[in-house]
Structure 1
Amino acid sequence: MILASTVLQTAHGTFDVATHGADGPERCLSISQGELGKDGTAVRLHSSCVFGEALLACDCDCGPQLATALDEINRRGAGLVVYLYQEGRGAGLDLKIRGMERQRLEGINSYQAYSSLGLPRDLRDYSLAAVAMKDLKVSKNVTLLSNNPSKRGAMEKLGYRIVDQVAMSYQVSRRAYDYLLMKQSEGMHTLDFDKIDFVD
């Protein structure tokens, strides 16, 4: 159900924002614009990343992806970002930081760091996104704004049909190159490096 809602003016456009919840204490945030019931509505499932979004970490692309998704929705005049509080691919902030320290000390990537901590690569649960999309009466036929194949699978499990998947193009620090390469080679993300602008 929708728990609270308002209208927010941002650098990316004006959006309706709302919090959503079900039976438990978990919450998610919807950031939307326009008519969401039409086939092909643009949807992004986005997990929180305090380092990439608030602190602008140079080796992370979460902030640029979120900004690009909001820009794309504003360009289309309609669409939705479901913002899920799933820091560290669902592992939580403590384990995320421990993994980052393993990466820093041992020169390994984030998948390897999670494995060394006895964690799977990805612990995220997208079921709360279905609550938000139902609340907002989102079409069952959507355009997915994501490079991540697991998000496509999650949307399909939630009962949505992906009519198009738009690989995100954005600007990011050169220090994120190895991280993106890992996501492409090991995570099978549909990244086109010719469409990503790496800057100093």
Structure 2
Amino acid sequence: MSVDVGDLSGRIDVAIPCGATLAGHVALPAMTVDWEQVERTRHRMTRKGAEMTVRVLDVPGDGGGKAIIVGDAERSSNPLVRIHSRCLYGDALQSDDCDCGPELSKSMDAIQREGAGVLFYLEQEGRGAGLEVKAMGLRLTQSLGITTFDAYHELGYPDDLRRFDHVAQSLLDDLELRSIRLLTNNPDKQSALAEHRIEVDRVPLRTVPRSVRSRKYLEEKRVHRGHALPPRWAWVCGIWAKRVGVAVTTLSVVGAWALDIRELVITSHLLMIATFILNHPANANARFRVRAMLRRLGMLRR
């Protein structure tokens, strides 16, 4: 398919993947997993200061990928599961303009805290259209001021080409999991698994937008795709509330110092130090190490 998007990008040849559709199911061959091979991939990984056991399971099919099994998730009842489509910008390059990287990190935090879970990492970059189309869409978005979904339409693509049938089949046939807690804001992922009679308890992921573009993109996903996200004004109010809080705290400390109220000065400084310690990212490492130690001692449920 060739689409002319005017002077911005000239004539772009866009190839929509053969057989791609958003309706119905894809008939996938029955999966048979070689668990001896999977067990040969078992090893320990250190993340944020604590160790966890991981294994690698292949997930075939269109837009397939790998399943990272943390602990013995297949033996758990109702384990945490994250279905994550590869995002080079957000995952590897740490772009501030999308929530992919923070969602992946937060999902792994939750799985690591429990000591068991599954991360499905799928090769479905750019909502299944690929990195090049994603990049062209972002160019149109920034040049014309349109949403990423409208940009995809300009390029001849639907909103989302991703499929999750192969994930459902892997959960059912390989891991024999029929009840999971799904870490996602996307109702399409929940619906795709529910259609295969997998009981899904959706666990929303709340991340803080790190740029203006990120806030705009989250609003687009909330409005156009029904993602379970706060409205854009809530993000803005939250940012200003933090700024006001910092300003009030600073003025209080300065005022207490100027008035020579030493007890209040000391108390204010202690509160500020405590808040910093509790919210500092490095503190997460200590929490993971403590939970890992308790699990080894059998004092924490896996």
CA deviation after TM superposition for structure 1 residue 159, in Å: 3.0
Q: Give the corresponding residue for 2:149.
A: 111
CA displacement, residues 21-63 of structure 1 (integer Å, 9 cap, x when unaligned): 44x6864111222332333211111100000111111111000
SS of 1:108's equivalent?
coil
Q: Give the corresponding residue for 2:266.
A: none
Q: Using the alignment, how far apart are the partners of 1:39 and 1:62 within structure 2?
A: 27
2:90 is aligned with 1:52: yes
1:156 to 162, 186, 194: 194
Question: What is the number of equivalent residue pairs in this alignment?
Answer: 197
Q: Tell whether the 8 Å contact from 2:59 to 2:167 is kept in structure 1 after alignment.
A: no
5+ unaligned residues in a row in structure 1: which ranges? none
Q: Counterpart of 2:43 in structure 1: which amino acid? A: V
Larger CA deviation: 26-35 vs 64-73 = 26-35
CA deviation after TM superposition for structure 1 residue 95, in Å: 1.1
Q: Tell whether the 8 Å contact from 1:20 to 1:132 is kept in structure 2 after alignment.
A: no
Q: Counterpart of 2:206 in structure 1: which amino acid? A: S
Query: What TM-score do you get using the length of structure 1 for normalisation?
Result: 0.86
Distance 1:139 1:21, change over 3 A: closer
Between the two structures, name the one with larger relative contact order (CA 8 Å, sep ≥ 6): 1
Q: Using the alignment, how far apart are the partners of 1:140 and 1:104 within structure 2?
A: 42
Q: Using the alignment, how far apart are the partners of 2:218 and 2:92 within structure 1?
A: 19
Q: Tell whether the 8 Å contact from 1:15 to 1:33 is kept in structure 2 after alignment.
A: yes
2:227 is aligned with 1:189: yes
CA displacement, residues 148-182 of structure 1 (integer Å, 9 cap, x when unaligned): 000001111233111x2111022440331111111
Q: Using the alignment, how far apart are the partners of 2:235 and 2:47 within structure 1?
A: 23
Q: Give the corresponding residue for 1:7.
A: 43
Q: Give the corresponding residue for 2:277.
A: none
Percent same amino acid among aligned pairs?
32
CA deviation after TM superposition for structure 1 residue 84, in Å: 0.4
Query: What TM-score do you get using the length of structure 2 for normalisation?
Result: 0.59
Q: Counterpart of 1:67 in structure 2: which amino acid? A: S
CA deviation after TM superposition for structure 1 residue 187, in Å: 1.2
Q: Give the corresponding residue for 1:180.
A: 218
Q: Using the alignment, how far apart are the partners of 2:134 and 2:203 within structure 1?
A: 28
5+ unaligned residues in a row in structure 2: which ranges? 1-32, 243-302
CA deviation after TM superposition for structure 1 residue 138, in Å: 4.4
Q: Give the corresponding residue for 1:129.
A: 167
Larger CA deviation: 113-122 vs 187-196 = 187-196
Q: Using the alignment, how far apart are the partners of 1:167 and 1:14 within structure 2?
A: 24
2:81 to 39, 43, 54: 43
1:168 to 205, 215, 218: 205
Distance 1:21 1:38, change over 3 A: closer
| Larger Rg, first or second structure (1 or 2) | 2
SS of 1:122's equivalent?
coil
Compare the two structures and name the one with the higher strand fraction: 1
